[in-house]
Amino acid sequence: MFVINNDTENKKSKWSLAVELFLVFLKISPIAFGGGFAMVPVIEREVVDRKKWIDNEQMADTLAAAQSVPGAVAVNSATLIGYNINGVIGALAAFMGTAIPTFIIIVAMGLIYDNIREIPLVQSATKGIQGAVIGLVLIAACKMGFVSLKDKTCWGIFLAANVVLILCQRISIVFIIIAGAGIGILVSFVKLKFNK
């Protein structure tokens, strides 16, 4: 009788989880038209609602972290989710699952787009996709807001960031993120200092 020791079983489950992560993100990537934030609700539905790998709060934290580093939000989010679920192997699997379909689709579109972009049906489809993507991003933003905006400090930073972005459209988003982090740290420090 063959007995699998715990290390072998653990390695096997890590690899099967990596394959599952790869397949989940391989499925998500080509159906989330618009990329970036448009993929967020699709990722959330799959990893939070269906697979239950993470919860809404972890998803919001992942998105915040994914936006704070260079690169595409969807790829960063997938990589972070993969890492949190299954370490480096999971990060690589999720990254590859997200990147491979995107690469293939972009190359294929590059080859044929010049020949089809003037076709009215293609132009209409593109406009429809743009509208749907805006709706998906809005829904994802609302869900993240309900999870992330827990207190007056978060609401204040959120409102201030929006006012600054509306009034000063040339300001870098990176500056807004860094300023938000700084204000959050400062407020926490002040609360700790005066609550003692």
The Cβ-side half-sphere exposure at 20, using a 13 Å CA radius, reads: 14
- Structural tokens at position 27: 């499925």
pLDDT, position 51: 93
Q: What distances in angstroms separate CA 88 from CA 18, 83, 91, 192, one per listed residue?
A: 10, 5, 5, 36
3-state helix, strand, coil in the chain (%, to 5): 85, 0, 15
pLDDT, position 18: 95
Each residue's pLDDT expressed in tens, for the chain with a length of 196 residues: 333 334 444 565 889 999 999 999 999 888 765 566 777 888 889 999 999 999 988 998 888 888 878 878 888 999 999 999 999 999 999 999 999 988 898 898 888 888 888 889 988 988 888 888 788 778 877 877 777 787 888 888 888 888 888 888 888 888 888 888 888 888 888 888 887 5
Q: Which of 78, 89, 72 is nearest to 34 (CA)?
A: 72
Integer Cα distance of 45 and 29 in angstroms: 13
pLDDT, position 5: 35
Integer Cα distance of 143 and 58 in angstroms: 12
pTM: 0.62
